[in-house]
Structure formats: C-alpha cells, structure tokens
Amino acid sequence: MKRLHLLAAAAVTLALSSCRSDSNELAQIESKIAAVDSVKPEEKFEYVSEQFADLRVLRYEVKDFEKLPAQTKELLYYLYEAALCGRDITWDQNYKYNLTVRKTLEAILSDVDEHIDQNDPEFKKFMVYAKRVFFSNGIHHHYSSDKIIPESSKGLVSELIHHTDSTKLPIAAGQTAAAFSDFIIDIMFNEKVAPKKVQLDPKQDLVTSSAVNFYEGVNEKEVTAFYEKKNDKNSKTPVMIGLNSKVVKENGQLVEKVWKVGGMYSPAIEKIVYWLSKAVTVAETPAQKVSLEKLIKYYQTGDLKDFDDYCCAWVKDTEAAVDVVNGFIEMYQDPLGRKGSFESVVSVKDFEASKRISTIGENAQWFEDNSPILKQHKKDSVKGISAKVINAVIETGDAGPASAIGINLPNNEWIRSSKEHGSKSVNIGNIVEALDNSGGETVGNEFYYNDEIKERAKKYGALADKLHTDMHEVIGHASGKIEDGVGASHETLKNYASALEEGRADLVALYYLMDQKLIDLGVMPSLDCGKAAYDDYITNGLMLQTNRIKLGDNIQESHMRNRQMVAGWVYEKGQKENVIEKIVKDGKTYFVVNDYNKLRVLFGELLKEIQRVKSQGDYKAGRDLIENYGVKIDPALHKEVLDRYGKLKIASYSGFIQPKLTPVMKDGKIVDVKIEYPTDFLNQMLEYGKNYGLLPAIN
C-alpha cells in the first residue's frame, strides 16, 4: 500500500518547437500501427511472465477496454503517451548517472551479435543485471535502496562495451571510449560509489550519503536551513516547499533548479504538456478539462501555488470514468521527505467494484467519530473523500514496474483536511487481481501455524487485503487533524514522517477490520475476515517481510519500518496477557494471535499515540517508535525466515509489464484505440528507451 501525492497545473494548448508537428505526429502514429502484431485475445489471461533474482514480472488486464467509447479510449491514449514521456525523469531523479547506465545497457543489447555466446553463464548473469536495473528504474534496488552489483565479470562488460557501436553509447564530449568504459564499469561494480539510494540512518548525513539526484554539492544541514527560511508557518494554505526542484550550490549559495517547461527536465516536460494539451480536447467532463488545464499550467510555471490549484481541481473531478496522476508525487525517495518523484497512473473506473469502497467513503464521518484517537485530533466534519476502484491502463516512473495497490491524494495536508476540498482514494483493482491470481498458498502453508489460520486465510484472505487497502486509503490517510500552529509532517517528523504516516493509516484499517460496522455496511461477511487480516499483518510484520532484507541489514524502507513497528509494538505490549504468542515447533517459529479483541484494543492505543505524534509534531516520540520497533531485526529469526522462504523459490517482489495502446487512424483522426498485452519485459524496456528517451544521459 502506498500513499501518493498530487501535482497541479492549468492548461493552455501550446505549439512548442520541441514537439512534433501534426504531420510528424501522424507519421509516428502510423509507424506504430504498422509495427503492431495481430494479437488474438488470450483464452486464459496469463498473469505471470518471468522470474529473476528476487523479482517476478507479472501482467495485468484492463477488462472491457474494447467496450469503452471511442472518445474515452482516445483520452486514455493521450494520457498514456504523457505518462511515458516522463519516464526518463524518474531515472535521473533516482541517481545522476542512471540514464548513462541505462543508455549503455540499451546500446549493448541492441548490438549483441555472434561474437557473444548468449548461452554463456556469464552473459546470462549480465542479462539478469540489466533486467534488475530496468525493473528498479536505476542501479539501486527499488525497495531496499541498496546498490545492485552485477554478478557477471568486469571483463565481460568491458568486452560488451568494446563491441558496441560507439555512436550508440552515451560517451561525453571529449571522453575517450576507453575512459568511458572505465567510468561506467566503476559505477556498476564499485560498491563504494553510490552505495545507498536513500539513506535514513539518522547517524549519517542524509543528503550526502543518499545517491538520489535531488541535491548536489550540499549537505543536510545546509538544505534544512535553506528550507527553514522559506517556511511560512503562519500560512493557512502552505505550499509543499521544495517539491519540484533540485537543490545545488552556485557561487556559494543554495539555489533550486525547478522542474518545469524551460527549466530542469524541460525536454521531457514539454512532451508531457503536448500530450496533456491533446487530452484537454477530449476531456469527459468540464471538471476534468479544468483539472488538466491546471496541470499544464503548473508544468509551465513550476509555481507550487499552481500545483495546489491543480490539486483542488483534481479532487473535484469525480464524475469522469478516466483519471490520471501525472507529476512529482511521492516523496519516499527523498531522505528529507520534500522532493516528489515523477510518476503517472492512467486509469479507468471499475463501476461495479467501486460500490464496496464507495460505501466505506460515504461513512467516513462515522469512522472518524468512533476512532480511538484524542477528541481534539478528530475532524469535526469529514468531507470531500471520494472513493472508487480503478483499473490501471499504464503505470510509469515511480509507479512502475513495481506498483502500488492503493492511492490517496493529494498529500498537501491543508487540502486534505479542508472542508471544501478533501481527497480521493482508490483501490487499483486489476493490479490486486493480478497479484491474487499469480500466486499460490505456499507461503501461508509455511508460515501460518495451524489449519484453522490457513483455512481462514484461504477463505477470507483476498477480501481482507482489499478491505485493508480500502480502509487504509479512504479512512486512514484522510483521518485526523494537526493541531493549530504545528507544521506539516515532513517538517516536524522529518525522515520518520513517511513511516509514521503509513503506520497511522494501517492502524485505522486494522482497528476497524474487527468492527461490526463493516458487517452492517454489507462490505464484510463476518469478523473472521478481520481475523484473517490480523493473522496476515502480524506474521508479515514480525517475520515474513524480512525475507526482503539481507542478513545483518537494518530495515530502511518506510512501509516495512511501519509494519514491523506496528507488529512489534503490539506484540511487546500484549505479552503480559499473551495476546500474541511466539511458538517454536519443529525448529520453526510462528506468531499466533490468541485474543483478537485485545489485539484490536492495542492497535487502537498505538493509533491514538501516532496520531498524537503527528498532530503535535512530536519528533522525539515518533523517532523512538520507529528506531525502537521498526529498524532492527532479530538476526536469528531473520536467518530462519530467509532459509524457510528460500526453500519456497518464490520471488519476494512483483512488478508489471504494461499494456500497450495503439491508435487506429482514419482521415488523419483517431477513430479507435487498440490494447495489447506484451509478454516480454526486456523488449518493452528497450522499446520505451527507443521511443521515449527524451533526456540526455546527464542532466
């Protein structure tokens, strides 16, 4: 589960010199049509494509796409193109030399010929490295943030570079081919070069020890002081300062390079604006048209007030079937929690499935009123929460290949808490469906203690996951309020803000998953569904998720810190009454919930405390919760989990090949859009690089 934020902007249709003319555009579209293979509908949709390293590549289906009106499909196509045009930005944001590495890999793979034995084990290792880099949008693991080191030899990579057409390689002006080869091999293989994408260890300088490309030539202390001067603590509608810029030092002074048309990343942003402008012409509703126009304006100006204007307009766009997130959204990749990574999610509403989540959203005030948090931290009037299930059409940038399963936007607290505006929450239905249909019961059979727990998970697990996501996004992120005079969470709670916020939203979901109210609303059949959710959360938080961490490492990623913190806290606090029991049987460890009602009470107590921490900006208390419960892993238990999970031969992480949209033309106009479901992950990555490689190797 992932919390997204929104971007903002307004629109004017521009004829930018860097955009293709209408005739060029038509020629490119026609060439795409010519390249399309005739693909017959699959009798049974195959969700799993391949598995390598710790990754599994899946596919997802956009059901009933063919039945959508022609105008709706045309709109989706324009938004699809806009989504892909921003892909390079994410790569560059993740690390300054990511695009250099990617373009090198693309050049090598386009030139592999008979001089390389592609069945050679060394070359196969190189191919795994390449696919891992493509999956993670860079040379660092998408989840752990650790650098990915090739298992193939330096000699093989050197040979591959030597045999690649030098005109295809991103060799800098004045750089020799030999110097380039040494440079790129050092980036790939040197463990001391950019070892961590996002550093969250408070003992380190979070800026200088993180490889992300949001800061250059500056340190944490300088950046903190820089933004402290910009912070308007008296504003009732504060912008998210620093969201859309890189901070560098020029002539001894810190300055921001803003991501906008005419600014940093302009070649890609101009193309995004071009396609968004075409989307405006086929918008489904007046509200959607206004929203897209404001998004374009924001991209043009880079003004964060325009961003907020867009967010407010986007929240009001609730009637259209199509929706889009496009911009600098999530701040998880910034160790200081300010910079938004580019991402785009283009989707269409699943009207039937939306009934469940809409029912929850319509009762948001009841959930707020009955929350265990302090009265002064409850919203008097919960408004503006729109909730639906969507089917993703494409996810790019920070949103793919690895995908969220839920979205709640915008992230600016004053907009979310406003009686006039509020937020949107969604469950990404076809992503959840793909995940549900791609696995088996193997993991549960290994880590659940008895048949009763296993049978309950089998019967209710899928629904419990959906309800948890619904409650997390719709009620969790949208609940509670900050006390007057307290700054935004990324300012008060700093590098712990994301983990604490995810914990808060999880706890709201967990607290109500054992409430009769969900049964009365008709969205949950019995409290056994809630019990299945509790079993899953405790097992995952205390054990299972650590299979994603190297033995001896601490937990860095915010969602994982959140889950271990929550599970570890309730386990410790419930020990006197044996609420959760640790059982060792036949050398295997299990955590078994003995009293679900008492566990619910503990979830409520922790929710109350984390809401207080957020509402009052209590950095010390928030830090202590994460550091004491969410970071360290019991090494003996960790090794056991790795050994047990390793025997299952199941990849720890999943991501997706994206559907492909192709327009059908008649008399120079789009009359229909066809959808395909590619099966080859690497081919899609190479195709994206060829068609949407809009930024230079170094920006």
Averaged pLDDT, groups of 10, the chain, 699 residues long: 33 29 38 40 83 96 95 98 98 98 96 80 96 98 95 95 94 94 98 96 95 98 95 89 97 97 98 98 98 98 98 95 96 95 97 89 94 95 82 97 92 86 90 85 89 96 92 91 89 92 97 97 97 97 94 92 98 97 97 98 98 97 97 96 92 95 96 97 98 97
pLDDT of residue 118: 82
E strands, 62-110, in order: none
Residues with Cβ < 8 Å from 255, sequence gap 6 or more? 247, 248, 249
In total, the chain counts a number of residues equal to 699
| Alpha-carbon torsion angle 561, 653, 438, 352, nearest 10 | 50
pLDDT of residue 293: 98
Angle at 561 between CA 326 and CA 361, to 5 degrees: 50
Give domain status of residue 668, yes or no. Answer: no
d(CA 229, CA 495): 19
Give domain status of residue 112, yes or no. Answer: yes
pLDDT of residue 440: 59
d(CA 355, CA 369): 23
Other beta carbons within 10 Å of 334: 24
In degrees and rounded to multiples of 5, residue 344 shows phi and psi of -145, 135
d(CA 351, CA 521): 18
The H or E element that residue 366 is part of is helix 364-369
pLDDT of residue 42: 55
Token pair of 113, please? 């010929």
Residues with Cβ < 8 Å from 615, sequence gap 6 or more? 374, 376, 377, 480, 481, 482, 483, 486
Give domain status of residue 32, yes or no. Answer: no
Side chain identity, residue 26: L
d(CA 168, CA 106): 9
Token pair of 566, please? 């929550």
Task: Name the domain count of the chain.
Answer: 2
Q: Helix or strand or coil: residue 275?
A: helix
d(CA 391, CA 638): 36
Q: What DSSP designation does 321 have?
A: S
Residues with Cβ < 8 Å from 224, sequence gap 6 or more? 336
Final residue of a domain: which of 133, 166, 189?
189
Give domain status of residue 402, yes or no. Answer: no
Q: Which domain holds residue 632?
A: 441-649
pLDDT of residue 19: 35
Residues with Cβ < 8 Å from 69, sequence gap 6 or more? none
Final residue of a domain: which of 189, 206, 224?
189
pLDDT of residue 10: 28
In contact, 333 and 342? CB cutoff 8 Å: no
- Give the helix, strand, coil percentages of the chain, each rounded to 5: 50, 15, 35
pLDDT of residue 420: 84
Final residue of a domain: which of 189, 215, 234?
189
Give domain status of residue 89, yes or no. Answer: no
Helices (H) and strands (E) in the chain, counts: 26, 15
d(CA 287, CA 304): 20
The H or E element that residue 504 is part of is helix 497-512
d(CA 248, CA 386): 39
pLDDT of residue 283: 98
Give domain status of residue 321, yes or no. Answer: no
pLDDT of residue 516: 97
In degrees and rounded to multiples of 5, residue 44 shows phi and psi of -135, 120
Give domain status of residue 445, yes or no. Answer: yes
Q: Helix or strand or coil: residue 667?
A: coil
Give domain status of residue 342, yes or no. Answer: no
d(CA 627, CA 494): 14
pLDDT of residue 33: 37
* Sign of the torsion formed by the C-alpha atoms of 32, 33, 38 and 42: positive
Q: Considering the entire predicted model, what is its pTM? A: 0.84
